[in-house]
Structure 1
């Protein structure tokens, strides 16, 4: 039996898309917001999520696109939603198949309107992370494994966070290929309200690119070595989680 080149190509494209994923919607305070649809016409989309072009991974820890999986800019019809500090946010994926790796959630305050801000110039702080929950590196329960099971991740904006315009960034880091990390970040725009007065500083803040290094042992890692088979700890890359203090 023979197959036409077009059928083979189509099969490869489908398998690549099914192997990866991206945030496709958000539930914020019980209300659902449609996310960006990377394979649809960008000129007709309006969303609180920043645009991104595909479910494919970013393969470099210092890629220019690593802040929000794009060129740092808002879409032509970018939306922003108002969110009280302390509100629960659930990010949703339509597909995800990688069980080994951490989940990280960051925020960054924009100097004015987020629509005018380049995400690569902002100072990011981490508000949540889930790494290796139990078991060993190759076969344990990971944050990305839970996303694979539920296609969602829940966190809350720190209740003490000062009001303003912010980006929120959900990132999955897949470690299933030895020493070949796969980064999957997506961002959305929020206007945080409330009476909070706190903002993080110092070691809590990083730039993207800049927050990670290719030599970071939590990124440049082979989870299938003999040593890894008995390792039950993992340090999630990036800065420490800011808890609002």
Structure 2
């Protein structure tokens, strides 16, 4: 029994270590501390929205799907001022899953983002990296890049209208057959400059609501026989808005 408990404990520790969340942002050469999910939330100040765990969200319709929380800002929420056209690098302190896409979304707040619930916003995608090369079962993925560098860089569209926004980084881990794991975290930005443009129509989605378990990019078994020869992967969600 002791041996079984020890093995189980080791397994659980390894599973926690495999998970992760955004822990900081680098914007225009400045590093902004992210949220610390296992520390006292009442004493934290960060541009990142609060979240409580590195554990995954297992359903695309989960109420926490927008920002891995209840949609609210923290008690001492900050925002970073960023010029349109600036690159933003999200960083993770740990990540070990190599199969799956990386996606970056933004959402414009109608007024103050601090008083906005992320579940009520309309989101648009500004970057994504899915299957880069090879096959679904034995290929190079966006998550593999995150695993190797613990970072992902996206650029705010230069034409984006000024205003208050949330930025959302999402890792979709596909290492368990037909059991997707979603890892989204959000930060608050005040965008300056820009060209006054915002996306519309099919570029805008709700979160939750953008995905379903029936989506081919969500309900997938990378260990199936077909996956060993398939070279095409459809990243879930809307097309990337390039600022046009």
After TM superposition, the score normalised by the length of structure 2 is 0.96
CA distance in 1, matches of 2:97, 2:135: 16
Partner residue in 1 for 2:72? 73
Change in 2 beyond 3 A, CA 1:201/1:11: same
Which SS does the other structure have where 2:147 is aligned? helix
Confirm whether residue 64 of structure 1 aligns to residue 67 of structure 2.
Answer: no
Residue 3 of structure 1: how far off its partner (Å): 6.0
Partner residue in 2 for 1:85? 84
Q: Over residues 135-187 of structure 1, what are the superposed CA-to-partner deviations in whole Å (9 max), with x where a residue is unaligned? A: 00011000000000000000110000000000000000000111000000000
Residue 15 of structure 1: how far off its partner (Å): 2.2
> Counterparts of 1:48-127 in structure 2 under 5 Å?
48-127=47-126
CA distance in 1, matches of 2:73, 2:113: 8
Confirm whether residue 189 of structure 1 aligns to residue 188 of structure 2.
Answer: yes
Which SS does the other structure have where 2:13 is aligned? helix
Partner residue in 2 for 1:22? 21
Partner residue in 1 for 2:238? 239
Which SS does the other structure have where 1:146 is aligned? helix
| 2:166–2:187 CA contact under 8 A, matched in 1 | yes
Residue 2 of structure 1: how far off its partner (Å): 3.5
Residue 16 of structure 1: how far off its partner (Å): 2.8
| 1:16–1:56 CA contact under 8 A, matched in 2 | no
CA distance in 1, matches of 2:194, 2:158: 9
CA distance in 2, matches of 1:188, 1:70: 12
Q: CA RMSD of the aligned region, Å?
A: 1.5
Partner residue in 1 for 2:127? 128
| 2:83–2:194 CA contact under 8 A, matched in 1 | no
Residue 19 of structure 1: how far off its partner (Å): 1.4
| 2:124–2:204 CA contact under 8 A, matched in 1 | yes
Runs of at least 5 residues in structure 2 that lack an aligned partner in the other structure: none
Runs of at least 5 residues in structure 1 that lack an aligned partner in the other structure: none
Residue 225 of structure 1: how far off its partner (Å): 1.1
Partner residue in 1 for 2:142? 143
CA distance in 1, matches of 2:117, 2:10: 36
Which SS does the other structure have where 1:26 is aligned? strand
CA distance in 2, matches of 1:225, 1:16: 23
Q: Over residues 101-150 of structure 1, what are the superposed CA-to-partner deviations in whole Å (9 max), with x where a residue is unaligned? A: 00000000001000000000000000000000000001100000000000
Which SS does the other structure have where 1:129 is aligned? strand
Runs (4+) off by over 4 Å: 7-13
| 2:106–2:166 CA contact under 8 A, matched in 1 | yes
Residue 12 of structure 1: how far off its partner (Å): 5.1
CA distance in 2, matches of 1:44, 1:119: 22
Partner residue in 1 for 2:202? 203
Residue 17 of structure 1: how far off its partner (Å): 1.9
